[in-house]
Amino acid sequence: NLLQRHGSELDPHKLEVLLALADNNSDGKICYQDFVNLMSNKRSNSFRQAILQGNRRLCSKALLEESGLSLSQRLIRHVAYETLPREIDRKWYYDSYTCCPPPWFMIAITIVEVAFFLYNGVVLDRFVLQVTHPLYLKNSLVYHPQLRAQAWRYLTYIFMHAGIEHLGLNVALQLLVGVPLEMVHGAARIGFVYIAGVIAGSLAVSVADMTAPVVGSSGGVYALISAHLANIVMNWSGMKCQFKLLRMALALICMSFEFGRAVWLRFHPSAYPPCPHPSFVAHLGGVLVGITLGVVILRNYEQRLQDQSLWWIFIFIYVVFVLFAIFWNVFAYNLLDLKLPPPP
C-alpha cells in the first residue's frame, strides 16, 4: 500500500528494486519478516546504493529472455543461473559483475597444485600413483602423524597428490565448481570455505585416522561441492540451471568415485610398511564444512554474514572442533600409547 500510494514519487528502477527485495520468496505477497528485513536494511552496501541512488537497471523480463548478448555476457548470465536461486540476485549480479578482480584464488591454487605435482613427477620419475614411491613421504609438505607438530603440514598437504588420477579429478572439480562460485561470491568467501575444508580435513584425520598421512586437496574441493549441491537442493525451485538433476547425479558419481578410490588406496597394502597409504577422512571433514559454513555463505549472496545467527553458530562449532583437535594432537597420542609409523 505504501509503494502504491507513493510510487509516483520514486524512480521506476527504485520502485522495482524495492518490490523485488520485499517479496523475498516471489509469491506476490509481503510477509511480516520480509517487511522487517527490508526496513532494517539488512542488505549490503551495493543494495543500499541501488535503492538510494536508483542506478539499478532492472528489466521486467527474465535474464534468459534477453537476446543479442555477447559471449562474455552469456557466460556471466550462465554463471548467475548456475549459482543463484533468486531472479533479483541474478539480475543484480549480471548488471554489476565487472571481472575485476577475476576469480584468481581458484586459478592460482590450481596452478600451484599442478606445478608441485609436475615437479614431484620429474623428481620421483613417476606420475601415476606417486604415493607408492618410497621417497614420496619425505616431502616436507605432506602431513605425517609423526611430524604433526609441524603446523604448516595441516595446510600444505593440498599441494601433494597421490597421482595424476587424484590430481586430475580434484582440479576438474575445483575449476568447474570453484571458479563460478568465486565469480559470484568473491575470493574471500570462497577461499575461506576452501581453506576451512582443508584444515578441517587434516585435523579430522589426526583425530579419526591417527596413523595415516594425508595428501591432496580433496578437503577443500569437497567443501565447495558439498556447499553448492546442498544450496541447490535447499533452493530447488529457484535454481534454474539446466539439467540440474542429471548434473547433480553426475557430480555425486564423480565424488563417490574419488572417495572410493581414496578408501581403496587407504586399505591397499602399503608399498613401504609399516606406514599406511594416505587417509580418506579428509574428504568427510570437507563435506562437513561445506554443508555448514559453506551453505550459509552461498545462501547469503550480497548479505552481511555477521547478521546471520547461523553463521556465528557454525563458526563457534568450527572453532571448538579446531581447539579440540589441537588438544587431541598434543595429549591423546601419548595417553593412548599409539604405535605410529616411523618418520619418513
* pLDDT band at residue 334 using 50, 70 and 90 as cut-offs: confident
Contact of 34 with 84, CB cutoff 8 Å: no
Let me know if 237 is a catalytic residue. no
> Does residue 247 sit in the same domain as residue 138?
yes
At 53 the pLDDT is 46
Whether 291 and 146 share a structural domain: yes
pLDDT digits (tens, 9 = 90+) for 211-254: 999 999 999 999 999 999 999 888 888 887 777 888 888 889 98
* pLDDT reported for residue 271: 67
Residue 250 lies in a domain: yes
Is residue 114 located within the same domain as residue 189?
yes
Is there a domain that residue 239 lies in?
yes
The per-residue DSSP string of 148-189 comes to TTSTTHHHHGGG--S-HHHHHHHHHHIIIIIHHHHHHH-HHH
Global pTM reads 0.83
Q: What does residue 66 show for φ and ψ, rounded to 5 degrees?
A: -75, 140
Cell representation of residue 193: 570455505
Same domain, 204 and 141: yes
Amino acid code (one letter) for 73: Q
Average per-residue pLDDT for the chain: 84
Domain count along the chain: 2
Task: Kindly state whether residue 124 falls inside one of the protein's structural domains.
Answer: yes
Q: CB-side exposure of 91: number of CA atoms within 13 Å?
A: 21
Residues 271 and 124 in one domain: yes
In a domain, 88, yes or no: no
109-134 burial, b if ≥16 CB within 10 A, otherwise e? bbeebeebbeebbeebebeebbbbbe
Domain of residue 313: give its range.
104-336
The reply to whether 218 belongs to the active site is yes
Domain shared by 332 and 225, yes or no: yes
Assigned domain for 179 exists? yes
> Do both 166 and 310 map to the same domain?
yes
Phi-psi region for residue 241, left (φ > 0), alpha (ψ -120 to 50) or beta?
beta
Q: Average pLDDT for residues 12-29, to the nearest whole number?
A: 66
Instruction: Supply 106's cell numbers.
Output: 581458484
**Active-site option among 206, 217, 218, 279:** 218
CATH number at 172 reads 1.20.1540.10
Cα-flanking dihedrals φ and ψ of residue 303, to 5°? -120, 150
**More confident: 236 or 39:** 236
Q: pLDDT tens digits for 202-212?
A: 999 999 999 99
Query: What pLDDT score does 57 carry?
Result: 46
Residues 6+ apart with CB under 8 A from 2: none
- Summarize pLDDT for 74-122 with one digit per residue, the tens: 899 889 888 888 877 888 788 778 888 899 999 999 999 999 999 999 9
pLDDT at residue 40 in the model: 63
Q: Is 17 a residue whose pLDDT tops 70?
A: no
Q: Is residue 224 part of a domain?
A: yes
Q: What is the pLDDT of residues 260-278, one digit of tens each?
A: 999 998 988 876 676 788 9
